[in-house]
Structure 1
Amino acid sequence: MKIIVTDEVAQEGLALLAQDPRVELDVKLGLKKEELLAIIGDYDVIITRSGTTVNRELLDAGKKLRLVARAGVGIDNVDVDYASSRGVIVVNAPFGNTNSAAEHAMALLLSFCRNVTRANGSLKSGEWKRAPFTGYELKGKTAGVIGLGKVGGRVATRLKAFECDVLACDPYIAVKRAHDLGVKLVSHDEIYKNCDIITVHTPLTDETRNMIGERELAMMKDGVIIVNAARGGIIEEAALLKYLESGKVAGAAVDVFSEEPPKSEYLKKLIGHERVVVTPHLGANTFEAQVNVAVDVSREILNYLDDQPLENAVNIPRFDLALMDQMRPFLNLMNTLCEFGIQLLDANISKIVFGFSGSIAHYDCTPLTVCGLASILNRMVDQDVNMVNASLIAEGMGIVVEESKTTHADAFSNLITIVVEGEGGKRRTISGTLFEGLPRIVRLRDYSMDFAPEEHMLLLHYADRPGMIGKIGTIMGQHEINIASMNLGRSEKKGEAMVILSLDSAVPPQVLEEVRAATDATFIKAIHMPGARCSRSCGCTA
């Protein structure tokens, strides 16, 4: 295997490749675009950092390329979709900087608590002042960790070592992992209300963008300390500045910003605030982290050579064509069920069962199971999940994954059922089938339903009694939200009813609360389905 290295990569990683007799390693730094295009056709693998753009032109020229290895976390310089279409695997090193990021979060927190940056500047200017720099101890403080993944888990461990009482919030982590770390899982609101220190360690997604804003900050204890060394945009920075200026927030330690480099006036004001410690996105910037990412991608290349699973592949080559012919009609259904079902979860997942009934059970359903698992996990973790690494990631999160098959089917020739189990025995069940090639959901929990998922939907449970549908329709009409269709299920007359509405537009939070109050709903959820199509995140090429 011929490998070209086009950017500076730590020698400790390259040494693993150099000592393998199957590898021919060429380090060619500083190549011009035309020079690289002229020679890339001779190589099976390219190792890059951020200095090389792996675009369509380069991928087309790399006729023999089988793998692109990005020695770092970001893959913005790689056209992953086009690489997938060419059957080229893309790997990165998302966890090589895990320890670096965790330590930096602690460094920021300690720097604020002990006034390190301010005291350093004062002393270097020739002053000798102590009183203005009286600090805070961590011992005995209640610390809240939002996001208990690899980085958040390490931060929680370190906070416990400083004798903090640690609460954690992560709806996608099994309770067992929290127990293993010795922390207590609580809700978001409990974190905000009870913690002296709050540190975030989640990916930036539609769910986490501006997750901590005006409402959450107002709920916090007076004198709270906030740390963000995860992603810019998780904390609403204008609101943070407001509560710093009011004194409710004692201070903040921030490494990441919604705009990098910061240009907005309010960001500059936040950065310049005397009670804010800041760094320019240095979480991964250690010598050790650079070695780790080099070692990680080199190991992935060797795993590829040895036909071993790739933990950090961000895409995957095509399935066997014969298998794809069998599975292709159901990949979209599986993704749709997962996209819908994941939005109904309100407990930490401990087990997922993928069930296949009818004719489909005659086939190997593993690709569907793993595609479904990847679809669920992609909304839960700060890592690209695909057909290769989904099972490994689920195992690391303490989630049990099972598959059940039966060729017997009652009402449908083919049926896919997903059962998600969580803390306290909570279960969520969703079943679907194909009707004229399009996904339809036919069961939610114990209710028989029959509807085609739409982009905007509203699901609610309430005690069945006259006038409920009218109340819901009236509220929607008052807010000019058109109801396209309605599906009703109920356990018995005047028992619990489940209603799913397909809408022409999204339901704002205030309207959601209005419907909840009018119906005394025991459960209500606005569902957003951007499209009932197979997500490329699962790794398939449908």
Structure 2
Amino acid sequence: MWKVLVTDEMRLGEIRNPEVRLDYRPNMPREEILQVIGQYDALITRSRTRVDAQLLEAGVNLKVVGRGGVGVDNVDLEAASRRGILVVNVPEANTRSAAELAWALLLATARGVVESDQKIRQGLWDRKYLGLELNHKTIGIVGLGRIGSQVAKFAKGFDMRVLAYDPYIPQSRAQTLGVELYDDLADMLRQCHFLTVHTPLTEETRGMIGRRELYLLPRGAVVVNAARGGIIDEKALVEVLDEGHLWGAGLDVFVEEPPNAEHPLVHHPKVVHTAHLGANTLEAQERVGEAVLERVIETLKGNLAHALNTGFDAEGLQVLSSWLPLGEALGKLLAQITQGRPQTVEVAYYGDFEKNPEPIASAVAKGLLDQVLGAGATNLVSARPLLRDRGITLMTRQIEQPLDYRQVLEVRLETDRESRRARGAVLGGKPRIVGIDEHNLEAVPVGYMLVCVNRDRPGVVGKVGTLLGENGINIAGMQLGRDAPGGRALFVLEVDERPSEAVLEALRALDVLERVDLAAL
């Protein structure tokens, strides 16, 4: 009989498997978990229980850890892999509930449900309110993942025209959904009577819908955020609502939760609220609990289809421990400095590697996807399938002949617009970027990096440095590379803080630069 311990609250339904003994002990203190975990074959948690190396080491009989939800950020995947403990999750369980809540907010805002309800409670029977219909209107969806795709399917039921912006989704996926996919966010916004966002909160998506974007929407548009607080700039939203450009907004999330009682959006008459309830339905909670329990039992029986950390031996991961963060950094770098929709990622290993270097390619894929899904949303095992889901091809090749160093990792990212390369090596046990495109240099892959392309002539770096200095941005390091004197050159500036969009635009306007890209590593 398998013994399964559940340490977080969830609805698990009825256990019909006589081979499983389930101990449901939600909110168990960590000290107690550490004392008893050695008796169990499997552990099921949500986000409260921290499944770190200490807990995994105490679980001497653990075979499976199940995470009830989307991410596995509270589970140390590497430590689990080293101990041969499989990790599973259920990312699809709350898709429907989150999509339905977005529509609830959209409809409530469009039809004045909350306002009318409040008037009736005050004894007023006001039938003069005129709402908005959805029929033949245009809805824009930012983020066409699982939830965004479900929102699109619902929109078709309302006979709406459906547009989407997602730089990491192939056209084929959008066509299957009957969605018009846009490469330019601004072009999409200008046509949207309704806008809803369904992306993770990353450096790329934080504040992506600001004052400018809100004013690109047609007058009288409705905006919904049931994803993450901060994707829509809250200050800008208040201003645009007050100025009368928007019909209203539906919000399930805030930057700070719960929001301050004096937050201007909390009491705004044009805003409908829910308290981060995207996954909070009886059905979703039952699906999460039942699905993760079923998945754990399947995995205990030997079905590894849903395990997130299979495929790499622990010794190999240990030997490649310095190369994995390098691969991840190169994936992040190229995702941020290469324009267009990713189509192909090619990973080349130059030189003789002691162990099979294939996990490095998975780290590259993880770094690339971190820019799409947010840090921690994927791992070495799930990265490749997620890449395939987005129509991005991953190719690897091993070349015995070394380059400038005994071992070199080269990654090439090809999009529908361009192709760029980055190279790295491990020097003295530390990851280093040793080349970008055809230029050789040496940079530490950490912090904020400005990658600048120019013609090799005097004064270029000086002008850039002056502009940054005038804006209070300190340069922490600089690396230079060129193909020939007077030819094309590239230099990397490591800066202490993220330059604002205004500073980036000013840099791009300098006549001495051909191109400027910002990467956060």
How high is the TM-score relative to the length of structure 2?
Answer: 0.87
Q: Provide the residue aligned with 2:171 in structure 1.
A: 175
Matched to 2:107, the amino acid is: L
Distance 1:74 1:363 in 2: 29
Residue number among 381, 388, 399 corresponding to 1:388 in the alignment? 381
Contact 2:221 2:248 in 1 (8 A): yes
Match of 1:2 in 2: 3
For residue 494 of structure 2, what is the aligned residue in structure 1? 502
- Partners of 1:465 and 1:194 in 2: how far apart? 45
Deviation at 1:172, TM superposition (A): 2.1
Distance 1:111 1:84, change over 3 A: same
Counterpart among 278, 281, 284 of residue 276 in structure 2: 281
Please point out which of 511, 517, 520 is paired with 1:519.
511
How far off is 1:310 after superposition?
Answer: 5.5
SS at match of 1:256: coil
Which amino acid counterpart does residue 99 of structure 2 have in structure 1? A
> How do 1:327-406 residues align onto structure 2 when only pairs under 5 Å count?
327-360=320-353, 363-381=355-373, 384-406=377-399
Contact 1:311 1:388 in 2 (8 A): no
Partner of 2:257: 260
- CA 1:496–1:306 in structure 2 vs 1: closer, same or farther (change >3 Å)? farther
Secondary structure at the aligned position of 2:321 is classed as helix
Selected match of 2:402 from 402, 405, 409? 409
- Structure 1 contact 178–185 (Cα < 8 Å) conserved: no
Distance 1:300 1:478, change over 3 A: same
Kept in 2: contact 1:83–1:89 (CA 8 A): no
Query: Is the contact made by 1:462 and 1:519 (CA closer than 8 Å) also made in structure 2?
Result: no
Deviation by residue 1:250-280 (Cα, 9 ceiling, x = unmatched):
10011112222222412xx313222211112
Query: What per-residue deviation string (whole Å, max 9, x for no partner) do you get for residues 511-531 of structure 1?
Result: 3333222235332123333xx
CA shift, 1:72, in A, is 3.2
Give me the whole-angstrom Cα distance separating, in 1, the residues matched to 2:67 and 2:240. 40
TM-score by length of 1: 0.84
- Residue 200 of structure 1, aligned match among 197, 200, 217: 197
Counterpart of 1:224 in structure 2 is: 221
2:435 match: 443
- Report the counterpart of residue 537 of structure 1 in structure 2: none
* Change beyond 3 A, Cα 1:36–1:495: closer
CA distance in 1: counterparts of 2:497 and 2:137, whole angstroms: 45
Write the deviation string for residues 196-230 of structure 1: whole angstroms up to 9, x where unpaired. Answer: 21111011223322332334334433222110011
Any idea what the Cα deviations from partners look like across 1:59-98, whole Å, max 9, x if unmatched? Answer: 565442333323234768x564896498455543232000
* RMSD over equivalenced CA pairs, Å: 3.2
Which structure 2 residues correspond to residues 131-150 of structure 1 after superposition, within 5 A? 131-132=128-129, 134-150=130-146
The CA distance in 2 between the partners of 1:82 and 1:319, in whole Å, is 10
Identity of aligned residues (%): 36
Whether the aligned pair in 1 keeps the contact of 2:350 and 2:403 (CA below 8 Å) is no
Shift of 1:43: 0.9
The SS at the match of 1:519 is coil
Alignment CA distance shift 1:273-1:433 (3 Å): same
CA distance in 2, matches of 1:500, 1:477: 16
Distance 1:30 1:371 in 2: 34
SS in 2 for 1:277: strand
The aligned amino acid for 1:345 is T
For 1:265, give the aligned amino acid: E
Conservation of the 8 A alpha-carbon contact between 2:330 and 2:367: no
Task: Identify if the C-alpha distance between structure 1 residues 414 and 308 changes in structure 2 by more than 3 Å, giving closer, same or farther.
Answer: farther
Unaligned 5+ runs, structure 2: none
Q: 1:141 to 1:518 in 2, by over 3 A?
A: same
In the superposition, relative to structure 1, how do residues 523 and 143 fare at CA in structure 2: closer, same or farther (>3 Å)? farther
Contact 2:63 2:300 in 1 (8 A): no
Superposed CA deviations along residues 231-263 of structure 1, whole A, max 9, x for unmatched, are: 122222232122111111210011112222222
Does residue 191 of the first structure (1) align with residue 188 of the second (2)? yes
The answer to whether the Cα contact below 8 Å between 1:3 and 1:25 also exists between their aligned partners in 2 is: yes
How many residue pairs align between the two structures? 516
Choose from 266, 285, 307 the match for 1:271: 266
Deviation at 1:499?
Answer: 2.5
1:154 aligned partner = 150
Shift of the 429–120 alpha-carbon distance from structure 1 to 2, 3 Å rule, reads same
Q: Secondary structure at 1:195's aligned position in 2?
A: coil
Give the letter aligned to residue 272 of structure 2: V
Counterparts of 2:454 and 2:326 in 1: how far apart (Å)? 28
- Superposed counterparts of 1:480-499, under 5 Å: 481-483=473-475, 485-490=477-482, 495-499=487-491
Q: Give 1:3 shift.
A: 1.1
Amino acid at match of 1:26: L
Q: Is the 8 A contact 1:84 1:317 kept in 2?
A: no
Write the letter of the residue equivalent to 1:168. A
Taking the aligned partners of 1:169 and 1:161, their CA distance within structure 2 comes to 20
1:432 match: 424
Summarize the Cα distance change of 1:181–1:403 in structure 2 as closer, same or farther, 3 Å threshold. Answer: same
Alpha-carbon spacing, 1:478–1:40, altered in 2? closer, same or farther (3 Å): closer
Q: Distance in 2 between matches of 1:448 and 1:317?
A: 36
Contact 2:9 2:27 in 1 (8 A): no
Q: Counterpart in 2 of 1:535?
A: none
Q: Which moved more, 1:221-230 or 1:181-190?
A: 181-190
Within the candidate set 234, 244, 248, 2:245 is matched to: 248
Q: Any stretches of 5+ residues in structure 1 without a counterpart?
A: 530-542
Question: Is the 8 Å Cα contact of residues 6 and 45 (structure 2) preserved in structure 1?
Answer: yes
Matched residues in 1 for 2:54 and 2:450: separation?
Answer: 45
Q: Which residue of 2 aligns with 1:536?
A: none
Whether the 8 Å contact between 2:207 and 2:232 is mirrored in structure 1 is yes
Does 1:164 pair with 2:153?
no
Measure, in 1, the Cα distance between the counterparts of 2:125 and 2:473: 65
Task: Decide which structure has greater helix share.
Answer: 1
Distance in 2, matches of 1:213 and 1:338, equals: 28
Measured in 2, the distance between the counterparts of 1:369 and 1:30 equals 39
For residues 151-175 of structure 1, the C-alpha deviation after alignment (integer angstroms, 9 at most, x for no partner) is 0111122223323222211222223
Whole-Å Cα distance in 2 between the matches of residues 56 and 465 of structure 1? Answer: 53
Q: 1:418, 1:321 → 2: CA distance?
A: 24
1:518-537 mapped onto 2 (5 Å cutoff): 518-519=510-511, 521-529=513-521
Picking from 41, 55, 62, the partner of 2:38 is 41
**Is 2:6–2:26's contact at 8 Å kept on the other side of the alignment?**
no
Distance 2:461 2:7 in 1: 63
Tell me, yes or no, if the aligned pair for 2:182 and 2:188 is still in contact at 8 Å.
Answer: no
